[in-house]
Structures are given as structure tokens and as C-alpha cells.
Chain A
Amino acid sequence: MYIPMNEMLKHFKQDVPTMANITHKSEQWSPYHDNSGTVLAVGIPGAVIVAGDTRLSNGYNIMSRDATKLSQLTDKCVLATAGQYADFIALRKFLQQRLQLYEFQNEVQASTETVAHLLSRELYSRRFFPYYTFNLLAGLDENNHGFVYGYDAIGSYDKMTYGVQGSGQELVVAVLDNQLKGYNKINKTIPQTREEILDIILDCFSCAAERDIHTGDNVEILIITSAGTERLIKPLRKD
């Protein structure tokens, strides 16, 4: 069997004899555990829709079929997190307490932009021992237009109209790019109504549950409008 030279060479590396190469690497205890799952959020004029599956996993085991990944911080914004559940709870606690203090001191709830900035600073404060959380902050801005802020683990954020995080991210984001932004389409027909977008979101989760082992059980959906919050739960594959 002929193997091309560049394929062969990929398996050989010229290594300098440093300590890392000579000493035997043992399995080190890691403070991080990936509890996985998928979250996504889409903002439209007048509302923002946040969805997250409710499965909590650890390796190949299911810890809970009923664990929420969404947390409503103010009347107008919701935090959706994928990653380590313990860090999600710690982060949520911090944000809830700090926003309560803000409300007491300023007699008004923090705006979504303010919460976004606060979250970024909190994540960066742990730059050298990060929160293992991949966040989406979804909320209504001052003009009641829905937006999503996507974060990495150490607080870099960007304002977007939709975002996906978690183990099913790669499976879902391409579909949303095509349907919600019209990528690779000449005549872009972008869905405008809440029902159409909800339809796409449920389908995306159902497809992610088919192919990603960490996504499943139920999908919890929060719809934030100026009138209030609506909550839906739909079933997904349980295997």
C-alpha cells in the first residue's frame, strides 16, 4: 500500500528533548467538566427568543433530564449558558445579586447593554482561571428590538441578531446562517414572524438531538417581549 510522503511525515515530529517530552504524562485532575448541551437565541424587532435543551451530561452519563440552561436576569434579558453547570450557577448567582444591587441603587433595572458589559467584565476578572461557560445574553434594547450578545469563555462579546453555543453549535449554526441571514442565497427570504422563527428553532433542536449525543430530553424556550415572558417546553429524543 503506497502512502504519500507528506501523509507519512505528518506522523513524525522533530522534537526537542524538553521535560515535557521526556517525562511520562499522567492523567491530571482537571477542575473543568463539560456538562454540554446546546443553547441558541434569536432576536427580532419586538421580541427575543431564547432556547436551550434541558439535558445535563457527564461523559456518557445523564445527570439530569430537567436542568435549565436559561436564567432570566432582568425583565428584558435572559442569560443562556452551555459548558460547565457549576460555573453557570456561580455566574448566575453573581449576576443576580449584582443586578439586584444595581436596581436598589439606581431605582431602575439595568438595560441589556449594561448587563452585557457587566458579564464581560466578570468573565475577564477570571482571566487566569476562567469560568468554563459559553454564554449568550439575549434581550431587548432601549427600542424594544431583540438582540443577542455572544461571549467566549473569557468575556469577549459581540452584538448579533442570533447566536448558538454548546455541543450542537456546529450542527445548528450553518442552518441559521442560511435561514435567518440568507447566506448563499441570491433572493433572501428571511422569516420575520415569531411563528416562523419558532418553527426553525424547534427543527434545529430536533436535528441537533438526532446527531449530537449530548443534546436531547426537552427544549425549553423563553420568549421575551415588552409585554412579558412566555415559556414553552417541547420534548426531544431521550436516548
Chain B
Amino acid sequence: MQYLDNYLQSKGGYDYKNVKRNELMKAQGFKEMPFTKTGTTIVGVLFDGGVVMAADTRATAGSIVADKNCEKLHVLAPNVWAAGAGTAADLHHQCAHFNAKLKLQRLNLNRQSRVNEVITKLTSKLFPYRGNIGVALIIGGIDCNGPQLASVSPHGNYVYHPFQSMGSGSLAALGILEAKFQDGLTKQQAIDLAIEAIEAGIFHDMGSGSNVDVVAITKDGADYKRNVRQYNAKSYQRQIPYDFPINNTPALRKYQFDIEKQELTEVGQEMEIIE
């Protein structure tokens, strides 16, 4: 059957066999499964000699905070980093996949990875899935063509721009970036601007929160600062500590396992829940 695969591949164009499969499943009554998104604020800022990327650290599942301090800045190559917004599982797996793919390519070619090849690989993968892989990424890096910053949308669209923001807090961050960005920033100015933009997202968007992570990528390498800012400590500490004495929880049933006889027996009588 190898010749058939080769023939189909050489035909070119798009592979629509999943579309037929989806239609069949829908006809049989398949309920489309919803995926969990993470509210996020991520930004990227280009400066003279490199690129700065920053992200908040809150992961939400609906309206509950699932992770108060997660990492949203992923390494794709030593000189190319990605900040991710969207479905957490998709982000993690896609970034890990491309990290490995790029590493293999670097070993084969003995050459540094480039930002535009990362973008091409990503968009080629995302487009056929028509936005169902929920990753909205900001890709930033420095290579032989200089520092570059681009954002990739889940449908496979990409745009190069000196400053970017993505996620539910993107509008809050974009306001700060539009107001304060200029060409020819220094590294420290770019870092401060990125942190300010994330701050706006943290306080004004409820899908983003907790701390700020920053990475500054220059020719000398990537300078990753985890939790460079921590604003919101827990607001109240109990004066009288909680007291959970030992043996104060009622057991409804007690079992005893005899190792030698390999037997499970019930001990005592079944208790009722005490209210």
C-alpha cells in the first residue's frame, strides 16, 4: 500500500479525509467536545539587539484558577522562545513537539534554527486543523537575520510586528504597548515595558493573574527570569491556626488486611456519619 500513499501525497493539495469522518460522526449524533482554554496575557517587544517576551502565570479552568504559577514561556530553540495562550494541553504538546523537531534539524544540518522556519513549520501544522488546535503563540528570537517577533493564531495566520500581545488580556496589554512603544528601545526599557503591559493584563483581566515571567533573547543567549514580579500575596493569614487533631475524623468502616493469610476483614461495626 506504500505506492498508494506516495501517489496520494504526490497529488498535493489538502487532505480532507477527516472532514468526511467528522460529518459521519455528526450524523451519528457525536457531541462535539469542548476544550478548556486558559485566560492569559502574553506580550513580545522588539528592541535594539534582541527581543523580550513576558507572560503572566495564571491557568484557569472555567472560572476557577487551576494553576497559580504555571510557566507560559516555552523554549523552541536556544535562540527562539514561544509564549503561549490558548488550550494548555495543546500548547504544551505542540511546543515540545517542535522543540524536538528543531533539535533534530539542528543536529542534521549543524546550523542555528531560524525564526522564520519555526513560523513556517508551525503554520503548516496548524492550518489543516482549521483552528481546532487551540494555540495562539508569540514567537520571538534572534538569528542570522537579526531579532524577529511574530504572532501565530490558531488558524495558522502569522504576522510580524515589533510588539505583540495575545490572550484574553491582550487588549489591556495592547493599550500600554500602543501608548509607550517606540523604535530603538534598550534592553532594560523593553523589559520594563513588557512587564508593565503584563501588569495591565493581570489587574484588569480576570483570566490573567499572579506573577510575571520574562525572557530577554539576545546574541549572547536567553536570559529567563521566572517570577520577576510578584504582586498578589495571599491577603490574609489566619490568626488562630486550624486545628486538626489526630483520630478526630470518624471512620465509617474499618478494614484489616492480614498479610500472611492475604485476607481483608471488616473490623468493628459500620458507623453513621455524625452531623
Contacts and interface: CB of A to CB of B under 8 A. Distances in A.
Which of the four size classes fits the interface of chain B? Answer: 35 or more
Interface of B: 28-31, 33, 39, 58, 60, 63-65, 68, 168-169, 202-210, 231-232, 234-240, 242-243, 245, 247-250, 273-275
A24 interface: no
A202 B237 CA distance: 9
A237 B60 contact: no
B205 A60 contact: yes
Contacts, number: 98
A211 interface: yes
Interface stretch (A68-76, A88-96, A182-190): A182-190
A214 B275 CA distance: 31
29 contacts: A12-B28, A12-B29, A13-B29, A60-B207, A61-B206, A62-B206, A171-B64, A184-B250, A185-B249, A186-B248, A186-B250, A187-B248, A189-B243, A196-B240, A199-B239, A202-B236, A203-B236, A203-B237, A205-B236, A206-B234, A210-B68, A212-B64, A213-B60, A213-B63, A213-B64, A213-B65, A213-B206, A234-B236, A238-B232
A239 B208 contact: yes
Contacts of A212: 63-65
A8 to B, nearest CB: 10
A236 B233 CA distance: 9
A25 interface: no
Given A214-B206, A239-B209, 9 more contacts: A60-B169, A61-B205, A184-B249, A186-B250, A186-B274, A199-B239, A203-B238, A210-B234, A237-B209
Nearest to A58: B206
Interface in A166-224: 167, 171, 179, 181, 183-187, 189, 196, 199-200, 202-203, 205-206, 209-214
A187 B234 contact: no
Nearest to B60: A213
B240 A199 contact: yes
Nearest to B205: A60
A11 B205 contact: no
Contacts of B29: 12-15
Given A60-B207, A62-B204, A199-B239, A239 B33 contact: no
